[in-house]
């Protein structure tokens, strides 16, 4: 049966200047989506609407929520999910994995260098002030090498697409990247709702991520570990915006979920309270920011961390994933130097380019940005979650004027980028398929045994028509991401 909800590209309202991943310019279906499109055409429109409602009910029952922090208190919301998958061909994925692996290798090399000889600064490739004046750079880590030489055990690389073979890195998440639980739940939901699709279309699996994460973390255990490494997930607690993910991953890995109050330093080891007394922890997958990790070393008012954990860490008694001080690689001013960083440490040109970036700390760049605010995206250097940014083309004159004053008052706190024509993928609406902008966050595991990249990742989608902001905190949703098998 031909589905009345099916729309060709021309009737989806897509600009010819914007690359749509499902439909070509002439309205035909792209190769990656051909089999899915055939299946979609065969379905009854009413049945698809019922399935769409079923997905929302499934997420509500599972409790897949996140917190949005407002002026008064946190508001818990359901993660919006779109049931039309984002599909990537095997050829496209091979290209992406090569570029991601190169970039993650360079980030780890950069972090080692910054906390040791700082060769990249001596070579004049990156200015020293970017680190010396950066709160994320920790003097406590100078001269110390984490177990296995791994700083970023889990990395999320945010990618955007503008054409058939045009992928760009939008930002690097080397501190505590989130969202992997949504990637896993999206797939589980799709397999439960449309099992026949996965027998018809060969899709790479993502369900083994927790096992691979547990194995990768265990491989980073310190030398004094005896027997099978004990892995625990450190969460700030139930009021954290990503608490669902912390609990989910601990459960899926077979690891302990702990809060700071469950841990203490005993006999030179970080140990967790159990019904049989205290038990040493070998690897701590922390989802607590550096500032709150150890009140004896960082913020003395913190109740989220473990007093003395940094002393145990530097003595080789525990692995902290990701390593303290990795946040310097998340800095958007550092990001602007990533092409030079990749080439310096790998000897190769970047396979995945950056988005063009103006550093507002530079006087000439600042002048250009101020003269073109209405056409640019301006972000805080340490910002995340879609907060503290200006999207010039959609901002009001008043918003632009307010942001101009912020820029002039503290230019070094901002970078600017052009407004890219991000690719679109269709979402399911009551009126049919409609194009919406997307990005992609693949998840990368790093251990002494190598780099593993989960085939797919978290596709975030701007559910509002014309919006370029995909963050869930700003009204975005998620999609299941399919990487096709050869």
Q: What is the pLDDT of residues 65-117, one digit of tens each?
A: 555 544 444 556 677 899 999 999 999 999 999 999 999 999 999 999 999 99
Average pLDDT of the residues of the chain: 91
User: With pLDDT > 70 as the criterion, what percentage of the chain qualifies?
Assistant: 92
pLDDT digits (tens, 9 = 90+) for 307-322: 999 999 999 999 999 9
pLDDT digits (tens, 9 = 90+) for 247-297: 999 999 999 999 999 999 999 999 999 988 999 999 999 999 999 999 999
pLDDT digits (tens, 9 = 90+) for 323-363: 999 999 988 889 999 999 999 999 999 999 999 999 999 99
Residue 5 in this model has a pLDDT that exceeds 70? no
Maximum distance among all Cα pairs of the chain, rounded to whole angstroms? 70
pLDDT digits (tens, 9 = 90+) for 122-158: 999 999 988 888 889 999 999 999 999 999 999 999 9
Other beta carbons less than 10 A from residue 464's beta carbon: 14
DSSP letters spanning 164-195:
TTEEEEEEEE-S----HHHHHHHHHHHHHH-H
Report whether 152 contacts 111 (CB < 8 A). Answer: yes
Q: What is the average per-residue pLDDT within 459-484?
A: 87
The residue among 26, 12, 52, 14 whose CA lies nearest residue 434 is 12
9, with CB counted inside 10 A (0-12, 13-18, 19+), is buried
pLDDT digits (tens, 9 = 90+) for 74-85: 556 677 899 999
Q: Which pLDDT value is given to residue 2?
A: 34
Q: Which pLDDT value is given to residue 470?
A: 83
Residue 6 in this model has a pLDDT that exceeds 70? no
Q: Which CATH class is domain 358-418?
A: alpha beta
Residue 62 in this model has a pLDDT that exceeds 80? no
pLDDT digits (tens, 9 = 90+) for 118-128: 999 999 999 99
Give domain limits for the chain: 358-418
pLDDT-derived band at 466 (thresholds 50, 70, 90) equals confident
- Alpha helices by DSSP H, listed for 115-230, are 119-122, 129-132, 180-193, 195-200, 209-218
Q: Tokens for 296?
A: 């004896």
Q: What is the average per-residue pLDDT within 224-246?
A: 93
User: With pLDDT > 90 as the criterion, what percentage of the chain qualifies?
Assistant: 78
Residue 52 in this model has a pLDDT that exceeds 60? yes
List all residues 6 or more positions away from 118 whose beta carbon is below 8 Å from its beta carbon: 128
Other beta carbons less than 10 A from residue 348's beta carbon: 10
Q: Which pLDDT value is given to residue 76?
A: 61
pLDDT-derived band at 57 (thresholds 50, 70, 90) equals confident
- 23 vs 388, higher pLDDT: 23
**Could you identify the residue written with the tokens 């004046």?**
133
């Amino acid at each position: 049966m031909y589905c009345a909800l099916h729309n060709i590209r021309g009737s989806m309202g897509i600009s010819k200047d914007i690359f749509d991943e499902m439909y070509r310019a002439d309205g035909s279906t792209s190769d990656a989506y051909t089999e899915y499109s055939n299946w979609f055409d065969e379905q009854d429109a009413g049945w698809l609407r019922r399935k769409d409602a079923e997905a929302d009910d499934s997420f509500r029952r599972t409790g897949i929520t996140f917190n949005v922090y407002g002026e008064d208190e946190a508001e818990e919301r359901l993660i919006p999910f779109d049931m039309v998958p984002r599909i990537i061909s095997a050829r496209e994925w091979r290209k992406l994995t090569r570029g991601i692996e190169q970039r993650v290798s360079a980030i780890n090399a950069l972090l080692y260098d910054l906390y040791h000889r700082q060769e990249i600064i001596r070579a004049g490739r990156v200015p020293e002030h970017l680190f010396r004046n950066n709160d994320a750079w920790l003097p406590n880590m100078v001269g110390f090498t984490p177990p296995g030489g791994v700083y970023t055990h889990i990395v999320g690389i945010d990618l955007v697409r503008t054409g058939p073979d045009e992928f760009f890195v939008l930002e690097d998440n080397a501190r505590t990247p989130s969202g992997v639980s949504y990637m896993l739940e999206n797939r589980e939901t799709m397999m439960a709702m449309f099992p026949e699709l996965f027998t018809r279309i060969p899709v790479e699996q993502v369900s083994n991520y927790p096992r691979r994460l547990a194995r990768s973390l265990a491989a980073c255990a310190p030398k004094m570990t005896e027997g099978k490494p004990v892995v625990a997930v450190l969460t700030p607690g139930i009021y954290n915006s990503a608490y669902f993910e912390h609990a989910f991953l601990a459960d899926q890995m077979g690891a302990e979920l702990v809060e700071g109050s469950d841990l203490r330093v005993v006999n030179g080891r970080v140990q967790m309270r159990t019904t049989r007394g205290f038990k040493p922890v070998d690897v701590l997958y922390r989802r607590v920011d550096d500032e709150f990790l150890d009140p004896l070393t960082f913020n003395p008012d913190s109740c989220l961390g473990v007093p003395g954990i940094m002393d145990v860490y530097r003595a080789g008694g525990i692995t902290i994933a990701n390593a303290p001080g990795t946040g310097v690689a998340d800095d958007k001013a550092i990001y602007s130097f990533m092409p030079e960083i990749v080439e310096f440490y790998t000897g190769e040109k970047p396979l995945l380019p950056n988005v063009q970036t103006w550093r507002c700390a530079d006087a000439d760049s600042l002048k250009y940005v101020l003269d073109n605010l209405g056409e640019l995206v301006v972000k805080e250097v340490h910002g995340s979650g879609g907060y503290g940014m200006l999207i010039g083309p959609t901002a009001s004159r008043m918003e632009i004027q307010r942001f101009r004053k912020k820029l002039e008052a503290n230019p070094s706190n901002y970078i600017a980028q052009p407004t890219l024509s991000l690719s679109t993928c269709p979402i399911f609406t009551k009126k049919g398929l409609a194009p919406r902008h997307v990005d992609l966050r693949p998840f990368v595991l790093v251990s002494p045994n190598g780099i593993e990249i989960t085939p797919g990742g978290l596709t975030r989608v701007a559910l509002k028509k014309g919006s370029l902001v995909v963050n869930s905190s700003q009204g975005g949703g998620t999609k299941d991401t399919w990487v096709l098998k050869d």
